[in-house]
Structure formats: C-alpha cells, structure tokens
Amino acid sequence: MRPFTLNYARPRVLPAVVTPYRYDSSMQLNVLPDGRPAVSDRELLLAAGTTTSTAGSQTHFDD
Amino acid sequence: MTVLILTSEQDVTADMVVAELHLRSVPVMRLDPADVPGKAVLSADYAHGDFDGHLSVNGHVLSMGGLRSVWVRRPGEPAAHASDSSSWLTAETRQALYGMLYSAPTRWMNHPRNADQARYKPWQLRIAHLSGFAVPPTVITTAPRVAQQFAEEYRDVVVKSASGPPPGDPASALPTTLIGPGADFSTVAAGPALLQRYVPKSADIRLTCVGPRLFGARKRSAPGQVDGRYGDTGYAWGTTAVPDRIAKSVQEYLALSGLAYAAFDFAEDEDGLWWFLECNQAGQFGFVELETGQPIAEAVALWLAGRTGERRVPESRG
C-alpha cells in the first residue's frame, strides 16, 4: 500500500543548467574559466540555482 | 588556527564563506568526508595520556591542536568516494574522522549531535512551543481515523513530508500540499502522515540565525500559494525587520537546541503574525544573500574565526 504522503508527490523539473565553474583545490573554492572565483559572479549563481532552498533537497533534508 | 569546513567541492554557498575567510587571512581547510580514505588522509594517535590528530587534503594540512572551529555544511558520507566503498567502510571512516574531531577542543557550527536531533520536525514543533512561537496545529499519525478527525476539525489542512522527498528519486518532489475535500485517509496506515492546519499567508519569512545575529527576509506570496519553495511567483526576497517577540523566541529555541546556525521558515498571515513552520539546522542561505545583499556569509566567517577557549575538555556546544 502506497503511503498517504506519497500520493502528493509530483514530478520535479530538473534544471538543465551546466555550471560553468570547476573546483580549484589550491584556492579551495570554485573558479570560472577566466580564473575568477565563481562567487564573484552573483548573477550566474542566481541563474544556476545552486544556492536555493531546494538545491540540497535530494541529498540533504536541510532546505 | 584553522577553520575546517566539511562539505562537497560543488558547494558554492560554502565558497561564499571561504572567500570571506580568505579576505581576513584566516587559515581554512575544506574537506569532504567522502574523500576519506583516498584523496584525503587522516591520522590520530592516543598515547601517553595525550591526543593529536592530522588531516591532509590537496596539499593542505591541519593539526587538531590548530583547529579553530568546524563548520558542518554539506558533507558527503564518509568513504563515499572510495574505490571499495561499503556501508562497513563508511562506518569505520565515520568513527575515525568524527571520533578524532570530537576529541579536539573546538567550536562547532553545528555539532552533529545537536544537528541530528534538530532535524526531527516533530521535535522542532515541541521546541517551538516551548520557545513561545505560534505553531499551527499539527498531527503526525499512522491512524487513518485520527487523520480523518484532524482534517474534519481544521478543514483546510496541508500534508508535508517530515524527511523530504524519497532519496534516490531526483525526478520526484514532495511539496507541502493542501489536501482536497473527500480525501481517502486509509493509506495513512501505510506510513506516518504529517498533517498541519493551513495558514493562509501573505508572505514567506526566512530568518537566518548566525550565533546571535539575525537576518530576516520576506517574500510576498501569490494568492493561494502553499509551498514557497515551488513555483515562480515573480516576487523576490527582501530584507525585513525581526519583531522583538520573534527574536526572543529564536534565542530561546537556539539555546534549547544547542544550534549556532539555523534557518527558520515562517508563514506570515494577513494580520502580520509569523507562524513557525520549521527550522533548518543547515538551511541554505546563499539565495537570501544574493537577493537581499544581507552579509550572511560574512557573519558565518566571523563566527567561525572567533577565538576558541583553551579548555582541555572537548566542547560539545553548537
């Protein structure tokens, strides 16, 4: 029998965003192709959605 | 003295804090427990009545004697990246890593023991009661009759998951949802259902707490919107003042839970009253800072950089 709560599950739209940064182990943060820290481009972070309250929901339950 | 951040490499919200620590020349080590053993190496020795331990990753080295604070952000499962990963290896690695860290006198944001307890939503509701928050009537039950009676008493009722969407199914979401009339509650017997009286809201409130510092943010709700995390309403987060009564309850909640960091969610009703929904002990804050300009990452960095005591007994406070 399917638990009651799961009757209210719905498909999740998976973002098709490719994050244009990579981890720099020396600086210990993610950098853009031009070497700037990814956090210096706030518009990009907002567009990527990687800082939102549902960003960690699939692996952590601390939204 | 070094700040240790336990998180994944992909966590750009942690980047915001790392950048603030760099600005202040505070030494930092970023480590994902998933990389132990392998990319990251640990050793701890307990001999002659003394203790010391070391971590190294990507050329960065940290001695437990030089540990300033620990930020548990988005850590992977220990040994998850190991070539021969297994549940046993994860358990062994968790013992080695966290056992070593617990042996060191340091400050935690948040201590895993407090974090584990703080994740339980039913417990959150009780602590919220004791802290003086307004809490919508709620029931969690496996009894269909109890669920039916709750829905009949409060009429407009939402169902929400206590633990989040099913793991391993990234294509599934489980937003807080209004239960329509005529719902069949018989399947409540197949799994606990958390039902709560619906609060018609004018706005969502996100209150981020970093030690004693409070950052209030408000986003107007669309008519009939239930779960503010889903659906683009066109409204943005903006800064809002925190009522004194709420600030007092927050301090009480943090004291009772032992949390150094928390992100509270409230529903603001038409009278301006903030109803407690939940408290995320490691809730995201990047989206709030990016939209409001509130210096939350700086506050986290300053807390982590704070001086530790010289106590020999390991601290367990958050």
ipTM of the complex: 0.87
Task: Say which residue the tokens 């995320």 belong to.
Answer: B280
| Closest approach of A40 to chain B, Cα-based (Å) | 9
CB atoms within 10 A of CB B15: 30
Task: Say whether A12 and B165 touch across the interface (CB within 8 A).
Answer: yes
Which stretch of DSSP H or E encloses residue B268?
strand B261-268
| CA separation, residue A62 to residues A15, A49, B16, B115, B116 (Å) | 20, 16, 18, 10, 11
pLDDT tens-place values along chain B, 318 residues long: 999 999 999 999 999 999 999 999 999 999 999 999 999 999 999 999 999 999 999 999 999 999 999 999 999 999 999 999 999 999 999 999 999 999 999 999 999 999 999 999 999 999 999 999 999 999 999 999 999 999 999 999 999 999 988 887 878 889 999 998 889 999 999 999 999 999 999 999 999 999 999 999 999 998 888 887 777 778 999 999 999 999 999 999 999 999 999 999 999 999 999 999 999 999 999 999 999 999 999 999 999 999 433 344 443 343
What is this structure's pTM?
0.92
Domains for chain B: give ranges and CATH numbers. Answer: 2-104 (no CATH), 117-122+127-132+200-293 (3.30.470.20), 137-197 (3.30.1490.20)
The domain ranges of chain A are 16-48
Q: Looking at the DSSP assignment, which residues form a beta bridge with residue B5?
A: B30, B71
Mean pLDDT per 10-residue interval, chain A, length 63 residues: 94 77 96 95 84 58 59
Task: Say which residue the tokens 């009564």 belong to.
Answer: B245
Interface test with B, best of A1, A8, A42, A59 (most B CBs within 10 A): A8
Residue B15 has its nearest CB partner, among A1, A30, A58, at: A30
**Is the CB of residue A55 less than 8 Å away from at least one CB of chain B?**
yes
Give the Cα separation of B203 and B209 in Å (integer).
19
> By the 8 A CB rule, do B217 and B206 touch?
yes
B247: which 2 tokens? 């600030």
Q: What is the predicted pLDDT for the residue at A55?
A: 59
